[in-house]
Amino acid sequence: MQVIRSIAELRAWRKQAASVAFVPTMGNLHAGHIALVNEAHQHAAHVVVSIFVNRLQFGQGEDFDAYPRTFDDDCAKLEAAGVDVLFFPLEAELYPHVRQSFNVEPPHLQDELCGAFRPGHFRGVATVVTKLFNIVEPDFACFGKKDYQQLAIIRGMVEDLNSPVQLVPVDTGRADDGLALSSRNGYLTSEERAEAPRLYRNLTLMREALLSGDSDYAALETRARQDLEAHGWRVDYVEVRQAQTLEIAHAGEKNLVVLVAARLGKTRLIDNVEVAR
């Protein structure tokens, strides 16, 4: 595996490469990231992974400085997964002027769901992904469905800006007890880790109710919120939305997604399930 630090070197490599599938990450890799890499291998001759902890998507009081940097371990995992190139730029390489004068501004969706609790987060995501797409010039880019709102925003950005990249959504990786794989799971205490699967259990119950024909979305959302709060969670949201657009869902719609974000102790977890009726 080749480790590349500069944009110029990566662009020189890209000129000699055939098709490329790209997996952008912030490092601290787990089995969910490797599943993205494995999917990328199915679509292109070469796989490029980036590791970059993007300051722009962290809000005030969030864990930018504390975010785990595990470069050596990440490299070992990526090499074992057959990655061709790891793009690992310094912050000054991607943001040479420190502050961005131009940013990619998503539509109203950036201020809903997670965006309502993390102002500016999706602007930071859209900006850095655009920069990485411009640098790597991938034919395919793999994104996990766990960050469903992020996937929806990136999908809209690619369509509206005519980016020549095909997005590949990848199903959420889960532990045996259902907990969605996430770098933030490492922040959980042993007691919190035992409680954490409740998030997915509530989503599963909501999916079963929706599939059985229940269209009282508000009641389903309230029931899940109350169960989580009764067990010590602080719930940001539990919502049923349209799967493709993430607009507010109405009774009778066929393709839905149930999304949740809640805090267990100091750790904020997100998850979702799709519902095709």
What mean pLDDT is reported for the chain? Answer: 96
What is the pLDDT at residue 277? 76
- Tell me the whole-structure pTM to 2 decimals: 0.94
Is 100 marked within a binding site? no
Residue 59 is predicted with a pLDDT of 85
**Any residues with CB less than 8 A from the CB of 214 and at least 6 apart, and which?**
220
Q: Are strands 255-264 and 267-276 parallel, antiparallel or unpaired?
A: antiparallel
Mean pLDDT, rounded, for 154-163: 96
184 is in an annotated binding site: yes
What are the beta bridge partners of residue 141? 22, 167
Is the pLDDT at 179 greater than 80? The verdict is yes
Q: Is 31 annotated as a binding residue?
A: yes
Determine the pLDDT at residue 62. 83
Say what the pLDDT of residue 1 is. Answer: 98
Report, as an integer, the average pLDDT of 36-49.
98
190 is in an annotated binding site: no
Annotated ligand binding at 144? The verdict is yes
Rounded to the nearest 10 degrees, the angle between the axes of helix 7-16 and helix 121-136 is: 50
pLDDT mean over 55-78: 91
The pLDDT tens digits of the residues spanning 104-139 come to 999 999 999 999 999 999 999 999 999 999 999 999
146 assigned binding-site residue: yes
Mean pLDDT of 235-247: 96
Name the token pair of 121.
Answer: 């987060």
Q: H helices of 42-83, where?
A: 71-80
Residue of 33, 43, 46, 121 marked catalytic: 33
Q: Where, residue-wise, is CATH 3.40.50.620 in the chain?
A: 2-170
Whole-number pLDDT of residue 246: 96
Query: Is 74 a known ligand-binding residue?
Result: no
Q: Count other C-beta atoms under 10 Å from residue 130's C-beta.
A: 18
Report pLDDT digits (tens) over 201-220: 999 999 999 999 999 999 99
Percentage of the residues of the chain whose pLDDT score is greater than 90: 92
Tell me what the mean pLDDT of segment 181-204 comes to.
96
The pLDDT value recorded for residue 252 is 83
Pick one of 1.20.1070.10, 3.40.430.10, 3.30.1300.10, 3.40.50.300 as the CATH number of 183-276: 3.30.1300.10
Give which of 173, 82, 141, 240 is closest to 125, Cα–Cα: 141
Residue 33 scores a pLDDT above 90: yes
Task: Using pLDDT thresholds of 50, 70 and 90, give the confidence band for residue 66.
Answer: confident
Q: Based on the residue annotation, tell me whether 33 is a catalytic residue of this protein.
A: yes
User: CATH 3.30.1300.10 residue ranges in the chain?
Assistant: 183-276
| Domain 2-170 CATH class label | alpha beta
